[in-house]
Amino acid sequence: MANETAKLDNNLTLIYKYIPGVKVVSVQTWMRTGSVNETAEESGISHFLEHMVFKGTKKYKPGEIDTVVEGKGGVMNAATSKDYTFYYINIPSYNAEVAFDTISEMVFRASFIPDEIEKEKPVVVQEIKMGKDRPTSGMWEEFSKVMFQDTPYEREIIGTEDTVNSFTHDMLLDYYNRYYHPDNMTLVVVGDISYDEVLKLAKKYYSDKRSVKAGKRYDKDGLTKIAKPVELSVKKDINQEYGILAYPAEGISRIDIFAMEVLGEILSGGEFSVLNQKFRYDNDLANSINGGYYGLKHRGTFLFTYNCQIGKGDAVKAEIIKTVKDIDKYITEENIEKAKNRLKSQTMFQREKTSSEANDIGYSYTVEKPSYYDNFVENINKTDKLSIEKAIKTIFKSEYVWVRTMPDGRSEQP
C-alpha cells in the first residue's frame, strides 16, 4: 500500500503508511538538521540538544516523558547524525496519542532547565571519552578530516569536551529556535492505525506555528579533491590492524544511489561476495572486509574497510587498489542480477516492520531523496551495467585516502 503525504497548515510534512494487523505504530519526527549545520563553536550542539529535550518540557518535568511512554508500553529513543536528528516511539496502536503528545512536546516546547544542562554535560563528556576508547575512533576522525575537508562534515557529531562544556541555555535555545520548526520537520507514522486518526492527532499536537528566523541549512554539493594519495596511521593498544581505503564521491543529492547500492552488494553482499572471495578465501589477507558507498547529503565516498593480522595491511591495500582497477570485470550481468535480487528481497523483509519502514521513509524524505523510499525497487530494477559504469566514472579516477589503525606495541608479546 502506498504512503499518504500531507502538509499541515504550518508547512510540516506528514507521511503515513498503513500496515494492518500488527497492532503497533511507529511515530517518528525527523529534523532536517544535524552537525552539518553547526559552527565550529557549536560543534556537538545538535547531539547535546537531542539529550536535553528529554530533560523537561512545558508539560513534562525531567524524567516524566520516559515514565509516561514506558507506562503505556512504548519504547522511545533518538539519534543525531551529520544531516539529521530524529525522535521515535514504537507503541501499541491504541496508545498512539501518547507518542504524538510526548514527541511534540520535545520538539516544540523543551524547557532547557539550566540545572539539567549542567547535569548533562558530564554525561556527554563521558560519552566522548568512551568513544575514544574504541579501536577505530581515531582512524575515522582522521579519515573525515581528509575526505570531508573544508566542510562541516569533517567534524565529529558529538563535538569536543571544550564545546560541550561551553554550551549555555541561550545557545541551546537559539539553535532550537533556528532548526526545530515545522518547516524543518517530517512527521512519519507507520503501523496499524487509520489515516483519519493520524491526521486528527497530527493537527492536535503538531500545529505549532513559530515566528522565528529559520537557520541556514548547509547546501554546498561538491566532490572533495584528492590530488595525490593520502596515507595516514593511528596508533592504538590493539593486536590487529584496522583500515579504510576510500575514494571521494558525490553526495546523495547528486549521485545515482541505486547504482551505488547494486555495486556495494556485488562487492560485499553475502558470504561469497567478490571481496570475501578475494581477501578471505583465495588469499587469506583479511579477517573481514567490506566495500560500498557512504553518502552524506552533500558529500560522499566509496570506501573499503577491513581488519587483518599485523603485517598484512600493505598487501590488503595493494589488493584493494587492484580490485578497483579491475572493477569492470566484476560488474557482470550475472553479478548485477544476483545483487538486485538480494537488495529487493532485503527490502521486502525490512518493510514488514513498522519501525524499519518508518526509518526508511523518514531518512529518504529528510535528505530530500524521496525516490530512495518510494521507488526503490523500481529503480533497482532499472539499474544496469551502463548506469553503474557511469556512476563510478569520476570516483575511481581520483587518488585514494588510506587511514589505518596499527598496534602501538603495548599488546605485542615478547
pTM equals: 0.94
Beta strands in 179-299 (DSSP E): 185-191, 230-236, 241-249, 288-295
Is 386 found in the same domain as 301?
yes
Mean pLDDT on 204-208: 95
Mention every residue, 6+ apart, whose C-beta is less than 8 A from residue 167: 44, 45, 48, 117, 121
My answer on whether 168 and 290 are in the same domain is no
Q: Domain check: are 356 and 258 in the same one?
A: yes
Same domain, 360 and 250: yes
Residue 1 confidence (pLDDT): 61
Q: Judge if 23 and 132 occupy the same domain.
A: yes
Do 188 and 256 reside in the same domain of the chain? no
Residues 106 and 251 in one domain: no
Domain of residue 129, residue span: 4-205
Do residue 239 and residue 139 come from a single domain? Answer: no
In a domain, 212, yes or no: no
- Tell me, yes or no, whether 321 lies in a domain: yes
Whether the per-residue pLDDT at 105 is higher than 60: the answer is yes
216 domain-assigned: no
Element (H, E) at 52: helix 45-52
In a domain? residue 39: yes
Q: What are the distances in angstroms from CA 5 to CA 85, 185, 365, 388?
A: 20, 13, 11, 31
d(CA 68, CA 111): 18
Confidence of residue 350 (pLDDT cuts 50, 70, 90): confident
Alpha-carbon distance of 362 to 187, in angstroms, equals 8
342 is a domain residue: yes
- Could you tell me the CA-to-CA distances from 110 to 45, 104, 321, 363 in Å, in that order? 15, 9, 50, 23
Residue 90 domain-assigned (yes or no):
yes
Residue 214 belongs to a domain: no
The residue to which cell 599485523 is assigned:
310
Examine the domain organization and report whether 29 and 173 are in the same domain. yes
Is 215 contained in some domain? no
Mean per-residue pLDDT for 29-52?
Answer: 97
* pLDDT, mean of residues 187-202: 97
Residue 22 pLDDT exceeds 80: yes
Q: Provide the number of structural domains found in the chain.
A: 2
DSSP state of 228: S
pLDDT single digits (tens) 211-266: 677 889 999 999 999 999 999 999 998 999 999 999 999 999 999 999 999 999 99
The answer to whether residue 99 scores a pLDDT higher than 60 is: yes
CB atoms < 10 A from the CB of 382, how many?
12
pLDDT bucket at 410, cuts 50 / 70 / 90: low
Q: Are residues 175 and 41 in the same domain?
A: yes
User: Are residues 33 and 182 located together in one domain of the fold?
Assistant: yes
* CATH code (residue 49): 3.30.830.10
Of 140, 171, 205, which one is at a domain's C-terminal end? 205
50-92 confidence digits (pLDDT tens):
999 999 999 999 999 999 999 999 999 999 999 999 999 999 9
Residues 81 and 153 in one domain: yes
CA distances from 36 to 19, 151, 257 (A): 34, 8, 21
d(CA 319, CA 154): 28
pLDDT band per the 50, 70, 90 thresholds, residue 181: very high
Average pLDDT over residues 362-379: 95
Residues with Cβ within 8 Å of 63's Cβ and at least 6 positions away in sequence, in order, are none
